[in-house]
A and B are shown apart, each in its own frame.
Chain A
């Protein structure tokens, strides 16, 4: 589904991401963990074509993001950690805009909007301008917009920030449903307990470099993810 091979991204002399290689298969929920400034957001943005990169390649369903970005973008959806949306549109106008870009039929979009807006209890607010939405409502709208075109791969940066517990639970259910239907999810999070319970595989990044990538069982062993993360981070710092 997603193949990141030797990805390197530099900001001046500093490598934000350094020779990262990662593979995500269909049906996987893949967690991406790292300290602040480790390179998680840079990696996610590179995967969805927001950032150019100097070395390596990213393939989505065998298509290179460098060579065929538009084809790749048809298969993905991205939810940033702090979604700035079009405040001058209402919720429904924004969803229709997204649906228009992805060329979703009138029938399909109507059904999906009804379904996902109902899940997040946002239906009543769809006619309000986004400028009147709280942060959590904007997050929900961004999630609905991401699911609207049934992407193969969903990339999320700290998706649970700003969501209330019910919405978080609903999002987890949607993530499972998406992967059970053959899709994949690649998301970054600081909430290690969530990653521990949700993810099939996890990658730990530090200083732009991958320090561990494996199934959750292999990574955890007898420990909690927090302990593993702290241990690995310490080991790498000592090196």
Chain B
């Protein structure tokens, strides 16, 4: 038990350090912790509100019928499970099998099952956080309609915890399967990215279509939805266990939810050591001696950044999802044009808002492209190489900015040009703005990411997922860009009756340009000083 607690404390402290501690000196900054906590709270509350709106609709459609209370609970638990599974599926493999300290811990007198359990526990806690954003609003609206019941609350919480274990079992099992399969594949990055993209596409398709179609079905014929879902007995049992406090259904539900976790834990415990340590040999690539090519310093630095990006599926997916969405949005714009959707919309809104809304959409997608923010901390282990070479910190940091620019500006050009040609070809000013503004925003968001990535770099990570997905720098970069974009949109909206829309937009362009200059100055002065202090 003692050993397990030590392991769990280690896991937890590693996660907490990313929000509390800066750099190798271990100094904690109250302002950093506070701003990170506020940001996370804002995100969490936003998600709560969105899901709350969904359950408001469910409650309205279902809870008018006494006999369908179980259906409401089933939907709540289903959505909770989906969110928990999606939230941790990409983390499970990295967290369990790719942590840098796995080898160290396995050489110690610690049973592998305890190492595994400590890692699973941290994933379990993450499940609880994700799942709570669904179950909380679901229960609030249930009690709002049906009145508060302590027994419903307790059973729901019990089932919620069991669901978290069930979801954990699913994501860990999938992570294990992928780990075992991928050990036999040479081009892991490519396969991982492909698999992940398919998953993301399916996820967004169902999230995009699912809730609205479900809501329509519930309002039109909730009895039919109940019949369909209830045909699968475990779903009925879970719902009625919470809504009707049926003891038999409670026991059956707990059995169905807990048994998979036990089985998966046993399986992973038995195979943990082998999964981590097995290495399959691959055919060697032959080195062909020949005249090597010389590359300019700036290009060599950029190539290094690019090679690292392409070698890591996690980095590529997390950072590049925004760039991918930009390309997909180009196709979506063509779809909208062909179906003449936008012209109908803007006859209602006013054609002068077409340009700003197209710009805002492209910029919003650019906010999710996070190449620069994690790039500084990712250099932690190998910083000595660049720092002992005759290359300045300015050159190093600008290479990271360049990485962001090449992976965002070019993808952003595609929807910009399509939007300009299809929707704004009669308006030369907006034709230019819809191309220029996103490009400037890409430069700005890259600089902002580099600012946060340098300012809040934590160089003590053991798993690159901690830097790429869980770091304060990445969170601040994404939400900071979105917040600034939100302020711009609000400004245009508030000034809509005072002047033509293009005037505040031109002001925004000037502000973005000024912002880029300020970020450049900071990065090449204070940013370099901070970068040089990392090893000191």
Contacts and interface: CB of A to CB of B under 8 A. Distances in A.
Partners in one complex: yes
Interface of A: 45, 48-52, 70-71, 73-74, 76-78, 80, 84-93, 95-107, 109-110, 113-114, 123-128
Nearest to A100: B300
Nearest to A70: B390
B279 to A, nearest CB: 9
B384 A99 contact: no
Given A100-B297, A103-B297, A123-B287, A86 B304 contact: yes
Contacts of B285: 90, 127-128
A77 B297 CA distance: 17
B146 interface: no
Interface string B411-439: 00000000000000000000000000000
A76 B385 CA distance: 12
Between B294, B297, B387, the greatest number of chain A beta carbons within 10 A of the residue's beta carbon is seen for B294
Given A96-B295, A101-B390, A106-B291, A52 B536 contact: yes
Contacts of B295: 96, 100
Contacts of A96: 292-293, 295, 300
A88 B313 CA distance: 12
B312 interface: yes
A192 to B, nearest CB: 26
Contact of A97 (B304, B311, B388): B304
Contacts of A89: 304, 307
Contacts of A52: 532-533, 536
A73 B388 contact: yes
Given A51-B535, A84-B384, A104-B294, A74 B390 contact: yes
B150 to A, nearest CB: 54
Contacts of B391: 70, 101
A85 B385 contact: yes
A127 B307 contact: no
A87 B464 CA distance: 13
A80 B299 CA distance: 26
Contacts of A85: 382, 385
B293 A106 contact: yes
Interface string B278-315: 00000011111111111111011101100110111000
A114 B288 CA distance: 11
A51 B388 contact: no
5 contacts: A52-B532, A52-B536, A100-B299, A101-B389, A127-B287
Contacts of B532: 52
Contacts of A106: 291-294
A86 B388 contact: no
Contacts of A73: 388-390
Nearest to A45: B535
A118 B284 CA distance: 18
B212 interface: no
B296 A86 contact: no
B307 A93 contact: yes
A127 B294 contact: no
B312 A70 contact: no
Contacts of A102: 389-390
B392 interface: yes
Given A45-B535, A95-B292, A125-B284, 15 more contacts: A50-B384, A50-B387, A51-B535, A70-B390, A78-B384, A84-B384, A88-B308, A96-B300, A98-B389, A100-B296, A101-B301, A101-B389, A104-B294, A110-B290, A127-B286
A49 B294 contact: no
B140 to A, nearest CB: 47
B281 to A, nearest CB: 9
Contacts of B291: 106-107, 110
Nearest to A79: B388
Contacts of B286: 124, 127
A47 to B, nearest CB: 10
A49 B292 CA distance: 29
A80 B381 CA distance: 12
Nearest to A95: B292
Interface in B495-536: 532-533, 535-536
B381 A84 contact: yes
Contacts of A78: 384, 388
B289 A86 contact: no
Nearest to A131: B311
Contacts of A88: 307-308, 310-312
A98 B382 CA distance: 13
Given A86-B304, A88-B312, A123-B287, A99 B388 contact: no
Nearest to A48: B388
Contact of B292 (A70, A71, A99): A99
A43 B234 CA distance: 67
A81 to B, nearest CB: 11
Contacts of B390: 70-71, 73-74, 101-102
Given A86-B308, A127-B287, A110 B388 contact: no
A218 B384 CA distance: 35
A48 B289 CA distance: 32
Nearest to A75: B390
Given A51-B536, A88-B311, A127-B287, A113 B388 contact: no
A88 to B, nearest CB: 3
B385 A86 contact: yes
A208 B303 CA distance: 40
Contacts of A50: 384, 387-388, 535
Contacts of A97: 300, 303-304
Interface string B202-239: 00000000000000000000000000000000000000
Nearest to B279: A132
A48 to B, nearest CB: 5
